[in-house]
Amino acid sequence: MNKNIQFAKHQQEFYNVLSQRVNQYFKTNNISRYANAEMIIKTSFMMLLFLVPYSIALSGVVASYWGYLGLCFVMGLGVAGIGLSIMHDANHGAYSSKPWVNHLMSYTLNFVGGNSFNWKIQHNVLHHTYTNIYDVDEDISPRGTLRMSPDSPWHPLHRFQHIYAWFLYGLMTFVWIVAKDFFRLVRYQKDGLVKKQKANPVVEWIILLITKAVYFSYIIVLPALLLPFTIWQILLGFFVMHYVSGFILAVVFQPAHVLEGTAFFMPDSNGNLENTWAVHQLHTTTNYAHRNRILSWYVGGLNFQVEHHLFPNICHVHYRNLSSIVRATAEEFGHPYKMKETFRSAIAAHARLLYQLGQSKTVPVPSAYAVA
């Protein structure tokens, strides 16, 4: 990983003007940039979407194993909902103006098996800063099985990735929870990223191990002790839950960055990029399904990915209203504002790019310096 990547210092006027306009929006309407009543209701709903089927399953009321798997499926919807609508805002410091509230709510990720500290480094530091830069943005840098950037090495297996990628997407949270969290903390410590966060590695390891132990105890051990199913049946339910949540999270995030029309950047030999950070986000990020309020509600407003990348510290409940400000300002300064009208068209564009990236080592996608 290149630790000396530098964004351009010019073009700063765009983000300065945009920030002023966004701040003025909140001031004029006399509203907070953090969570509102809608967000509190959504938080309760998503937690219950996970806890209610879990409680029903544990009670033994549902005697059928197929019924148990159905409850695990619904729990998967809850896990994804918690990730998209609660912990995501909290880990960005966007849930509340009170740091302790954000810290507390960020642990909803640990509650469903993940690790808040690792996620902040992987997502906030690497993805949000270095979006679509291969080997730095981990979201587009999977090893071996998938090629999500034209700068990633090509292997013959990638010819079929547009077919098998969808099956691998469901493994995302499962792999995170049982393996990646441990490997990532080791790597982040080795790369000095833990130190940069001013964190104590011993404390973070203790938190990781304790929260994992608690999670596996209540999600696997307790059901195995109380329910009339074999351990393998319990483990299958656990897998179903995470396959559902992993697939949902993948198909929400991938069409925002890895699709036809987005740019993939690489720094020059000195580590320099042509654009400022804000303009970089406009080139590498795409919105979708603006009019689909149900989808937008469930995915935590992350179909407004442009607004989120430019203002990650603003709660997602405001993104819809901010989108007109962002779009008008981008167009005023001659910058792209990328958007797909529907979720289906975004998924299709993602599938087409997967196919293109898999067929050849060289793919005609927008370069670091092209305006799509």
Q: Flag whether pLDDT at 313 surpasses 90.
A: yes
Predicted model pTM: 0.93
Q: What is the pLDDT of residue 365?
A: 56
- pLDDT, one tens digit per residue, over 56-79 is 999 999 999 999 999 999 999 999
| Rounded Cα gap, residues 30 and 34, in angstroms | 12
Q: Is residue 338 part of a domain?
A: yes
Q: What is the pLDDT of residue 3?
A: 58
Q: What is the mean pLDDT of the chain?
A: 94
Q: What is the band of 370 on the pLDDT scale with cuts at 50, 70, 90? A: very low
- pLDDT, one tens digit per residue, over 173-218 is 999 999 999 999 999 999 999 999 999 999 999 999 999 999 999 9
Contact 338, 286 (CB under 8 A): yes
Q: Is residue 7 part of a domain?
A: no
- pLDDT, one tens digit per residue, over 43-56 is 999 999 999 999 99
Q: Is residue 364 part of a domain?
A: no
Q: Give 132's Cβ-side CA count (13 Å radius).
A: 30
| Rounded Cα gap, residues 175 and 181, in angstroms | 9
Contact 119, 193 (CB under 8 A): no
Q: What is the pLDDT of residue 191?
A: 92
Which token pair is 130? 């270095």
Greatest alpha-carbon span in the chain: 65
User: What are the φ and ψ backbone dihedral angles of 160, each rounded to 5 degrees?
Assistant: -110, 10
Locus of tokens 């990915």? 305
Please give the radius of gyration of the chain, using alpha carbons only, rounded to the nearest integer: 21
Output the DSSP codes for 300-354. TTTT-HHHHHH-TTS-GGGHHHHHHHHHHHHHHTT---EEESSHHHHHHHHHHHH
Locus of tokens 């090893």? 143
Q: Is residue 6 part of a domain?
A: no
Contact 226, 220 (CB under 8 A): no
Q: Is residue 367 part of a domain?
A: no
**Number of folded domains that form the chain:** 1
Q: Flag whether pLDDT at 369 surpasses 60.
A: no
Q: What is the pLDDT of residue 133?
A: 94
**Helix-strand-coil percent breakdown of the chain, rounded to 5?**
65, 5, 35
Q: What is the pLDDT of residue 371?
A: 35
Q: Is residue 63 part of a domain?
A: yes
Helix 231-257 to helix 343-359 angle (10° resolution) is 90
Q: Is residue 4 part of a domain?
A: no
Residue 190 burial (CB count, 10 A) = 9
Share of the chain above pLDDT 70, in %: 96
Q: What is the band of 9 on the pLDDT scale with cuts at 50, 70, 90? A: confident
Domain membership of residue 53 as a residue range: 12-359
Q: Flag whether pLDDT at 363 surpasses 70.
A: no
Q: Is residue 365 part of a domain?
A: no
Q: What is the mean pLDDT of residues 273-288?
A: 96
